A and B are shown apart, each in its own frame.
Chain A
């Protein structure tokens, strides 16, 4: 996990007629990482996601300085659609990103645009739909699919081009808790199966506790914390303003560590926490 797939160097950006949205961003996303990006609303997370494909600054315009490298190549002068073949992006408004009338056409759309042969398009479409749990739905009209299925369809359309990196901007913002858990479980399965690099922007990191390997906290356009998930979480906890961005479980963990001067494990679930706490505090906590 040493090679870097996305690299920002001294990157500043502002949209046309706006204040600076990203300030002095220095960030490296390692290959094979499952990175969670969090931060307050309006911190610049979505803009940072878009910058990972060169959408910002090259599609929207605006002023920038610094460099962005994707898979070793500077994004300057590259077409967004070519970069999207290597870095797949899912925005939060998934409904508006579906452009076709049937599930099969939707998945095939990118492939056809990039000149894949019809035979390969059909094979990849079938495989991508199977990967996201929608096998045999090629001829389904979009209005025959539920919200969660449409979300998975969009994921299939991104996966069909076999990107090396997957960037998802609040993918479960319109889903119920069960739907969110199931989408992240699916995403993790795909991440493991295809050995991808994943970046997820998420307000509620609780859903991603079991999966995250790295974490980035964005605040006011700047990177406030970054790195392997527990290191970044510790830095975030030490900043009282940003502490709220951490999952409740880790806030408890750091509180306990601070109060009792002990070192606790990297809890990924309530069960893990319960087990360790019972072991460590057996008979020591007064009722």
Chain B
């Protein structure tokens, strides 16, 4: 039994709120839970690389905060919060098909279908764009492109790669737009999909979210 994309999205939004509402030990526990969940769902090279890159980025952020005069506690908690929020998104992407997320955004959050579709399209074309970029770099290298010299010279030389890449991307987007037109893309795209109905597990999770999100309230008035 799985929770729907809608509940997962609410959970991610709740996590971003919890990192500021809950005490730090609870936030650290949240991080541990997220990491266990992520590695349980997906433990391939990409996931490990994403966790590694996120760790490096968090480390850099902590160092920068220290350099700009923040205390060690503030820097560490800031880094922890950022790590928890980002890992929640990684969990979401690992656990749910992007199509389901887009559908939930249109169905439940009333996001315009064009914006929701951008999510899937962006993910669909990232590998193509990277492949085009590598091919263009190879082709221009054969024609004398070199990335030697100072930064300015290298940036100027790189225009020889960027220009054809942009032209190719525009041509592809034209074909994509035509293809979507032919396939009748529009408001019906998500409307006609199998509806994502909430099940008992979704209600339990949503209830848990409400309880945890109101933590400051019951800490102040009920636990006194």
Contacts and interface: CB of A to CB of B under 8 A. Distances in A.
A200 interface: no
Residue from the set B179, B181, B186 with the largest chain A CB neighbour count within 10 Å: B179
Contacts, number: 90
Given A101-B123, A112-B189, A55 B183 contact: no
Interface string B178-200: 11111111101100111000000
B97 interface: yes
B127 interface: yes
19 contacts: A55-B181, A81-B186, A89-B182, A91-B178, A93-B175, A96-B128, A96-B173, A99-B120, A99-B176, A99-B185, A101-B124, A102-B99, A109-B189, A110-B182, A112-B189, A115-B188, A115-B192, A118-B193, A118-B194
B121 interface: yes
Interface of B: 97-99, 120-121, 123-124, 127-128, 171-173, 175-176, 178-186, 188-189, 192-194
Nearest to A143: B127
A5 B120 CA distance: 36
Contacts of B123: 101
Nearest first, the 6 closest Cβ-Cβ pairs linking A and B are A81-B184, A113-B184, A96-B175, A97-B179, A110-B183, A84-B182
A112 B193 contact: yes
Contacts of B120: 99-101
Contact of A100 (B99, B178, B181, B194): B99
Contacts of B188: 112-115
Given A100-B99, A100-B124, A101-B99, A113 B179 contact: no
Contacts of A112: 188-189, 192-193
B183 A84 contact: yes
A118 B175 CA distance: 27
A97 B185 contact: no
Contact of A116 (B98, B121, B173, B192): B192
Contacts of B97: 101-102
Contact of A59 (B98, B99, B178, B185): B178
A53 B99 contact: no
A102 B194 CA distance: 16
B181 to A, nearest CB: 5
Interface of A: 53, 55, 59, 80-82, 84-85, 89, 91, 93, 95-102, 105, 109-110, 112-118, 121, 142-143, 157
Contacts of B180: 99
Contacts of A102: 97, 99
A115 B190 CA distance: 10
A140 B67 CA distance: 47
A101 to B, nearest CB: 6
Contacts of B194: 118
A117 B186 CA distance: 16
Contacts of B99: 100-102, 105
Contacts of B171: 93, 96
Given A84-B182, A89-B182, A93-B172, 7 more contacts: A55-B181, A59-B178, A95-B128, A96-B176, A101-B123, A110-B184, A114-B184
A91 B183 CA distance: 13
B73 to A, nearest CB: 42
Nearest to B121: A99
A115 B188 CA distance: 7
Select the residue from A96, A109, A110, A118 with max chain B CB neighbours within 10 A.
A96
A93 B123 CA distance: 19
Nearest to B123: A101
A93 B174 CA distance: 11
Nearest to A157: B183
B181 A81 contact: yes
Contact of A96 (B179, B184, B193): B179
A272 to B, nearest CB: 38
A118 B192 contact: yes
A105 B101 CA distance: 14
B128 A81 contact: no
B13 to A, nearest CB: 23
A137 B40 CA distance: 25
A118 B183 CA distance: 16
A99 B179 contact: yes
A99 B127 CA distance: 13
Contacts of A110: 182-184
A96 B172 contact: yes
A157 B97 CA distance: 20
A115 B189 CA distance: 8
Nearest to A50: B178
Nearest to A91: B175
Interface centre among B128, B171, B178, B181 (most CB of A within 10 A): B178
